């Protein structure tokens, strides 16, 4: 049996959404591990829909 993940996929998706909405860089620190979510500078608009994704 494997150990549970320290951070779940839903947590990463939520962090990416918050980073994209606020335009702020997020750092998640768990023990010695640091996960940084950096939003893209430019938006990728097609037909009025933003298809840009933050960099994980």
pLDDT digits (tens, 9 = 90+) for 13-54: 898 888 888 888 899 998 888 999 888 766 666 676 766 665
Is residue 23 within 8 Å of 30, Cβ to Cβ?
no
Which residue is it, tokens 């009025």?
A: 48
**Whole-model pTM above 0.85?**
no
Q: How many CB atoms lie within 10 A of CB 39?
A: 20
Is residue 23 within 8 Å of 55, Cβ to Cβ?
no
Distance of CA 4 to the CA centre of its chain: 20
């Amino acid at each position: 049996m494997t150990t549970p993940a320290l951070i779940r996929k839903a947590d990463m998706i939520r962090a990416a959404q918050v980073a994209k909405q606020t335009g702020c860089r997020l750092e998640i620190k768990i023990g010695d591990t640091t996960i940084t979510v950096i939003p893209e500078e430019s938006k990728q608009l097609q037909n009025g829909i933003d298809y840009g994704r933050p960099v994980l």
